[in-house]
Amino acid sequence: MNKDHPEVKFGKNGILLINLGTPNSTGWWDIRKYLKEFLSDRRVIEVNPFIWQIILNLFILTFRPSKTAHAYKKIWRKESNESPLLYFTRNQANKLKNKIGNEKVIVDFAMRYGNPSIKSRLNILREEGCENIIILPLYPQYAAATTATVCDEVYRSLMRMRWQPSLQVIPHYEGEPQYINALITSIEKKIQEIKWKPDLIISSYHGIPKSYFDKGDPYHCYCHKTTRLMREKFNKVEIQTTFQSRFGPQEWLTPYTDKTLESLPKKGIKNLLVICPGFASDCVETLEEINIQGRESFLQNGGKNFDLIPCLNDSSDHIELFEKLINKYL
């Protein structure tokens, strides 16, 4: 190579795991910054952007950060000063790197909102010589508000690159046999641990507004597909689909998880397990919304026993699933 030619790295494959995101701390300003980025995404909030920005900045970002900070403080990992989502996503990337990473394959992770950003990690992968990058959004069930917005941000980042890598996206894996088997294994493990028999298993997924479903978003169908496949593999206890985390006054996908937890004891369901298959890592929605708020609601309304089945997190089953999904593209 001519000595005047700039050094160029090439010939490598990059793998980027991408999850939703997390605030940098439980401080009010960090929470506000995170919420502003998240709730300004037009894939997440599909209303008139001019009107929404007024509502967001004058009202929501004035009052909601305190409530959100309170929730995060309950589940924050004090020993490493980070959210569980960041902790588990980093572990997932490191364990995957240990399985498939080498001088030709670089594994990393990013967040759609917050840090590390998609743009920063894509730039690093490209600088390290990755000519092909495989994107794995950590959402088993595709939705426009999750997987599609990850792709939007990836594409925006590539627009600024002079030498763009080729790109492959793994869009969803809601019915992947290895994924279903991993979920069943987690259910069976929890049942062996507890000292009581569950009357029902709630399979709780993050909700989306019903209007998104009416416009053609397949998310609702993918969630029910995952639950159906779990039922086919595990029939010892009934499994019921619900949807959580609704935001704002409009109708969301039903049945609502919180309302279901309130009503079940009155229907004779006193012993309950909850699994959250749509979350690749435990986070504020599983650890605080379900395992603290949901548990309290269920028990206060007459329930006897309640437990949350952990997400697949950085378990060996989960890492092997990622390896299988990615190997199709390497």
Strand partners, 204: 242
Laid out side by side, the sheet with 271-275 consists of 239-244, 200-206, 271-275, 305-308
Mean pLDDT, rounded, for 208-222: 98
Q: Which residues of 234-249 are buried (b: 16+ CB within 10 A; e: fewer)?
A: beeeebebbbbbbeee
Helices (H), 128-218: 149-159, 177-193, 210-214
**Look-up: residue for tokens 């980025």?**
37
Laid out side by side, the sheet with 105-114 consists of 105-114, 12-22, 130-137, 166-169
Predicted local confidence at residue 8, as pLDDT: 84
CA distance 210 to 251: 6
From the list 229, 207, 231, the residue with the least C-alpha distance to 220 is 207
| Whether pLDDT at 275 is above 70 | yes
> CA-based angle 309:221:280, to the nearest 5?
35
Q: pLDDT per residue over 22-39, tens digit each?
A: 999 999 999 999 999 999
CB under 8 Å to 75, separation ≥6 — which residues?
83, 84, 283, 284, 287, 288, 292
From the list 260, 247, 268, the residue with the least C-alpha distance to 297 is 260
Predicted local confidence at residue 5, as pLDDT: 77
Contact predicate 140/179, CB 8 Å: yes
Predicted local confidence at residue 262, as pLDDT: 98
Contact predicate 181/259, CB 8 Å: no
Which domains does the chain carry? 12-172+318-327 (3.40.50.1400), 177-308 (3.40.50.1400)
| Whether pLDDT at 1 is above 60 | no
- Output the CA–CA distances (angstroms, integers) from residue 108 to 97, 134, 257, 270, in the order listed: 8, 11, 33, 43
Mean pLDDT, rounded, for 115-140: 98
Predicted local confidence at residue 2, as pLDDT: 67
Predicted local confidence at residue 7, as pLDDT: 82
| Whether pLDDT at 203 is above 60 | yes
Which pTM does this prediction carry? Answer: 0.96
Predicted local confidence at residue 191, as pLDDT: 98
pLDDT band per the 50, 70, 90 thresholds, residue 4: confident
Q: pLDDT per residue over 148-201, tens digit each?
A: 999 999 999 999 999 999 999 999 999 999 999 999 999 999 999 999 999 999
From the list 261, 253, 138, the residue with the least C-alpha distance to 201 is 261
From the list 195, 231, 202, 193, the residue with the least C-alpha distance to 304 is 195
Instruction: Identify the three-state secondary structure at position 47.
Output: coil
CA distance 51 to 58: 11
pLDDT band per the 50, 70, 90 thresholds, residue 99: very high
Mean pLDDT, rounded, for 63-78: 98
Mean pLDDT of all residues in the chain? 97
CA distance 219 to 34: 24
Percent of the chain with pLDDT over 90: 97
Rounded to 5 degrees, φ, ψ at 305 are -130, 140
Mean pLDDT, rounded, for 91-98: 98
